[in-house]
Amino acid sequence: MKTPKEYRDEAENEAYAFFDEHIRPLPKNSDGQINKGAPGFVDNDVDAFRHAYVSGRFVHIYNDTFASLLGWLNEMWSPSSVHGKNMDLWNNAVGRELARKYRSKNALASALAKALKDGELIAFPEDARVYGQAAVLKPSGDFSVVAIKKNQNGANELYFDFNSGTVLSKDDFVAEIRGGKYPAYSLRTRNGTPYPVARSNKSGADNLG
C-alpha cells in the first residue's frame, strides 16, 4: 500500500511530465530527465499546475476532505511567503474542483492546462486574488484518525492516523480498536460487519462521527 507521500511524489512527476509535453519544455538533465532542481519550478506556471494536479489526484485517490487537509498542512509547514501560500491554496482548490468533474489523470491534466491558459490558476504570488476559505482543522490528540477512502458501496475502507502518519485498512483499524490502541474510537456493527466510529467529542476535525 502506497503512502500519501509516495502518491504525492508520483503525482508531481506526472504533473511535470504533462507540463513538459503539452505546455512548455522544462529543464532537463544530461540524460534527458526533467531536472526538478533547476531554477524555474517555484512561484510560476509550473508551480501552479503542479499544486493543482497533485491536489486533484488526492481527490481521485482518497477524498476531497483529505486532499484539502493535506494541502492546508503542506502550506502551514512551508517556508513560502504569505502570497506564496495564498497562491498554492488557491491552485489546490481549483485542482480539487476539477478533479470532482474529471475522473482520470489525463482528463484532469488537460482540464488544468486549460484552466492555466484561461487564467483560472494563480501563476505568480503577486496576483491580487485571495483564497478565502477557512482553514481545515487537523485531527489531533486522541481523535487523530480520519477516513480517507470509501469502497464501491460507500463504506469507509481506508483511514489515516495523523499522529503516527500511518495508513490503516478497515480491518487493521478495527483490530487496533479492539486491542485498545484507539480508546477514542469504538465499533458499530452494520449487517454483521464492524465499522470504526469516533466516540462523542467536540472536535470538528474527525469524520467518523
Burial of 60 (0-12, 13-18, 19+ CB in 10 A): middle
Global pTM reads 0.91
Q: Which residue in 173, 170, 162, 150 sits closest to 70, CA to CA?
A: 162
Q: What is the pLDDT of residue 138?
A: 85
161 in Cβ contact with 4 (< 8 Å) = no
Local mean pLDDT, 10-residue blocks, the chain (209 residues):
94 98 98 97 98 98 95 84 94 98 98 98 97 87 93 92 94 97 95 92 66
Domain ranges for the chain:
4-117, 145-198
* DSSP-assigned states of every residue in 122-167: --STT------PPPPPPPBTTB-EEEEEE-TTS-EEEEEETTTTEE
The rounded radius of gyration (Å) of the Cα atoms in the chain is: 19
Within 8 A by CB and 6+ apart from 129, the residues are 90, 122
β-bridge partners, 190: 193
**SS3 (DSSP) at 188:** strand
Q: What is the number of helices (H) and of strands (E) in the chain? A: 6, 5
162 in Cβ contact with 146 (< 8 Å) = yes
Q: Which residue in 110, 11, 15 sits closest to 57, CA to CA?
A: 11
Three cell numbers at 77? 509547514
